[in-house]
Amino acid sequence: MTTEKLVNKALFGKTELATQKVELGKLDDIEKAKSNSLAKIKNHFNKRDVWGSESNKVLGLVGDIERKGIELKKEANLLDKELVNIYTEISNLKKQADSLGLELPQSLNLLDGVSISAYGNKFADTNIIVDEFKSKLK
């Protein structure tokens, strides 16, 4: 064989081995990258599942709170109407007492030491508090 052929044969053989080493190295790198990605993907899905579970709990609590808020508003409105009826009865009774020259006790306008009309404002506060909370959820 000529020197040129020997050199080409030697170079060709080495080049082929080097190429095979590079390709095997790339395969190892790809497998490591896949393994790392898979671990990150599994971790991501686990975190997503936990988040979803926690979110569902929060949504359930929010739903319960919204229902309770609606019930509080209904109750406040009913109680306010009751107090309006009582106040109306007191006013009518005062008119009758005045026409007869009688004086009714001042405590008649009080409920637990607070004027009956003041409670109406407190019921309005219940509606405002519930509505403000609802607006914060949006």
Distance CA 101, CA 3 (A): 141
- Can you say whether residue 113 is alpha, beta or left, with left for phi > 0 and alpha for psi between -120 and 50 degrees? left
Distance CA 122, CA 81 (A): 13
pLDDT tens-digit profile of 26-75? Answer: 888 899 999 999 999 999 999 999 999 999 999 999 999 999 999 999 99
Cα–Cα distances in angstroms (integers) from residue 72 to residues 12, 79, 124, 130, in the given order? 88, 10, 11, 8
Q: Give residue 21's pLDDT band: very low, low, confident or very high (50, 70, 90).
A: low
φ, ψ at 112 (rounded to 5°):
60, 40
Q: Kindly report which listed range (70-74, 85-89, 92-96, 111-115) carries the lowest average pLDDT score.
A: 111-115
The residue with tokens 């808020």 is: 69
